[in-house]
Structure 1
């Protein structure tokens, strides 16, 4: 067991960084949401139906997750005709998930 260093302190900038990472992880902590981030990481933008087809999910469930992530600032949306096109707004999400994919914990 590591001994604790009583002089070790986490500065305000580091606390802010940790809080942002925790917020991102809580927001995407669902297999469908992780799939959406993965798809949008490799696309400029996708419609709800394109995401549903790629993930083999129901439109109502997918729309629910998209709205949640949009409201929390993870995704952006724009209308193209009758279609709503979603894109990744917070690219830190993809970076954080990339780190998890390549960590040594073999998840």
Structure 2
């Protein structure tokens, strides 16, 4: 079955977009992306302080986004600092901020 795309987006691009959207589809994950985009690299403790979140829950979300290639982690001493690997995620946040889709 052939899929028709009105905007002529390739199947590959659609699948990548769906993968990214599934990965970030959680308020805490979107908050992490927003924080890292605006503040730069942060440790788990720093992110937890900014977002008021428990370290165990935060670590779970950070690890998931790192495994899926959206974040990168750099170890400095005993701390791990996270930053955006996919910097275009900021465009997704901008789109959501400007969206008036009955939200």
Instruction: Report TM bin, short chain.
Output: 0.7 to 0.9
Q: Confirm or deny: 8 A CA contact 1:48 1:63 kept in the other structure.
A: yes
Q: 39, 42, 47: which one pairs with 1:43? A: 39
TM-score normalised over the length of structure 1: 0.83
Please give the root-mean-square deviation of Cα atoms over the aligned residues, in Å. 1.9
Question: Structure 2: any 5+ residue segments left out of the alignment?
Answer: none
**Partners in 2 of 1:90 and 1:12 — Cα distance?**
23
Figure out how many residues of one structure are paired with residues of the other and give that number: 100
Q: Confirm or deny: 8 A CA contact 1:76 1:86 kept in the other structure.
A: yes
Task: Output one character per residue of 1:12-64: Cα deviation in whole Å (capped at 9) or x when no partner.
Answer: 85322222221111001111111100100112200000000011000000001
Radius of gyration: which is bigger?
1
Q: 1:95 to 1:103 in 2, by over 3 A?
A: same
TM-score normalised over the length of structure 2: 0.86
The residue that corresponds to 2:60 in the other structure is 64
The residue that corresponds to 1:9 in the other structure is 4
Name segments (4+ residues, structure 1) moved above 4 Å: none
